[in-house]
Structure 1
Amino acid sequence: MARFTLRRAALPDMTAIARLNRHVRKTCLPYLPDLHTPDEDLAFFQEQVFPTSEVWIAEAGVQLIGFAGARLDWLDHLYVDPDWHGQGVGSALLSAVSDNRAELNLWTFQENAQARRFYERQGFGLIALTDGSGNEERCPDAHYRWIRHQSRPDQR
């Protein structure tokens, strides 16, 4: 297994996080519309994510390879560089953000079969499917929930 480390994100990490977010969305979710500029992505993380969320990053040396952001009982972001898929990065990030939580909810796109399989393997259960009218991309999505007493997100 490849070696990587986890740590809490700091403000200087924001630019790399916004860049990785854009890269993963373009590479793994090509069906999504590109609604924002890179500067708007950075502003989103600066103004909305970092002030309200617990953000963890995964690094291989000095390279950012993944990040997760959670607030209250919601996992809002879990993105892993495609070159690192299947190497435990997503599971490790999920475990870090779930460590002190009794429950986590998330939204993922219905078309994102890889993410849906990942979350289901981690013990998340499907709550609802929507037509996408509630998200800015207007793509059908799926609401998942994990509850601590049912399983642990770091289980496979």
Structure 2
Amino acid sequence: MRSFVLRRAARADMEAVARLHRHVRKACLPYLPELHTPQQDLAFFEQHVFPASTIWLAEDEGQVIGFAVFKQDWLDHLYVDPAWHSRGVGTALLTTVRQDAAELNLWTFQENGQARRFYERHGFRAVELTDGSGNEERTPDALYRWTRNQAG
């Protein structure tokens, strides 16, 4: 089995992160509308994500295979290349993000059963379900929360 490494992202990683974000959404979330171009995705990461967040990458032989984006007590993104699903990449990224956190919150789409099962296995609990009117995709979502005290 091949191994991967984790490291903090640098601005030079921005294009690879934006590409992986788009790839995973298309492959794993086909029910979502495609609202942005690849250039708009890159601009979003450049203007909003990279300047305001801490980003951890998982790499295999220099290729980004997963990433986690967080700030304060929010996990804003956790994406893993589908070829690397069920190989510990998501767990490693999540463990790194939670290392110093007392609490983490995140949104995921209700229809994303794979993500919901992943987060529930890692101690997150659904605390709110919405009709999707508050997200850009207008797709029902779920708010999840993990706290260190709850996790034991």
Task: Give the TM-score range, shorter chain.
Answer: over 0.9
CA contact (8 A) 1:2 1:87 kept: no
User: Distance in 1 between the 2:140 and 2:2 partners?
Assistant: 34
Match runs of 1:1-156 below 5 Å: 1-151=1-151
CA contact (8 A) 1:130 1:140 kept: yes
Amino acid in the other structure paired with 1:83: A
SS in 2 for 1:104: strand
Amino acid in the other structure paired with 1:73: D
Please list the CA deviations of residues 87-124 of structure 1 after superposition, one character each: whole Å capped at 9, or x if unmatched.
Answer: 00000001111111100000000000000000000000
User: Distance in 2 between the 1:11 and 1:96 partners?
Assistant: 20
C-alpha displacement of 1:82:
0.1
CA contact (8 A) 1:133 1:139 kept: yes
User: Distance in 2 between the 1:151 and 1:90 partners?
Assistant: 18
Residue segments in structure 2 that go unaligned for 5+ positions in a row? none
Report which of the two has the higher share of helix. 2
C-alpha displacement of 1:56:
0.3
Identity %: 68
C-alpha displacement of 1:2:
3.4
User: Distance in 2 between the 1:150 and 1:50 partners?
Assistant: 30
Q: How many residue pairs were aligned?
A: 152
Runs of 4+ in 1 over 3 A off after TM superposition: none
C-alpha displacement of 1:150:
1.9
Normalised TM-score (structure 2): 0.98
Q: Give the aligned CA root-mean-square deviation in angstroms.
A: 0.9
User: Distance in 2 between the 1:2 and 1:96 partners?
Assistant: 20
Normalised TM-score (structure 1): 0.95
Amino acid in the other structure paired with 2:15: T
User: Distance in 2 between the 1:98 and 1:105 partners?
Assistant: 11
Residue segments in structure 1 that go unaligned for 5+ positions in a row? none
User: Distance in 2 between the 1:91 and 1:45 partners?
Assistant: 23
Please list the CA deviations of residues 55-88 of structure 1 after superposition, one character each: whole Å capped at 9, or x if unmatched.
Answer: 0000011111000000110000000000000000
